[in-house]
Structure 1
Amino acid sequence: MNKHFDDSRYYLARAAEHAKLGLTETITPYATRLRAAVGRDEPEPDPSRLEAVRDELLALERRAEGQARDAVGSARGTLSRPEADEPADGR
């Protein structure tokens, strides 16, 4: 008899969990609209450490690309000048 009570308790908990998920899914659009109307929007969650490191790496990559392009452009400009054909010691 005890096994039947354990089984029924398991299925009752499972049904409650599914009911909670269904209600959450149904109510979410209304709750979001209500929060927006009242002005109580939820703040954006802080980025995780992985996201912060990824953002830092992307910024570093962009900065390195910009510096490399500037260096290449400067070198091309130096090499394309007519006085660049002369030796550096002036002979």
Structure 2
Amino acid sequence: MNRHFTDARYYFRRGFEHLYAGIDEETAPFRRDLMERMGREAEPEEEEEITLETRRERVEYGARRAATRSREAAGKVRRRVRRTSQ
């Protein structure tokens, strides 16, 4: 049962993120016009410059995360096998 709640929470969060991104994208022109009329500059969109070192760090992080998740999955399988063999 807990797995179902976990899945539901994941999909709810993901749906909310998509909803937020969609609203943000749709209202961007209106916000820009409003900022111009108020005499303020629109916030510049920052483009992140990704260096080779940053990419390397991200790959290493992903590899560590994958290794950790695979060890956790293997542990769960071992526990299940022990429970069923008893």
Q: TM-score, normalised to structure 2's length?
A: 0.49
Q: Rg bigger for which structure?
A: 1
Q: TM-score, normalised to structure 1's length?
A: 0.46
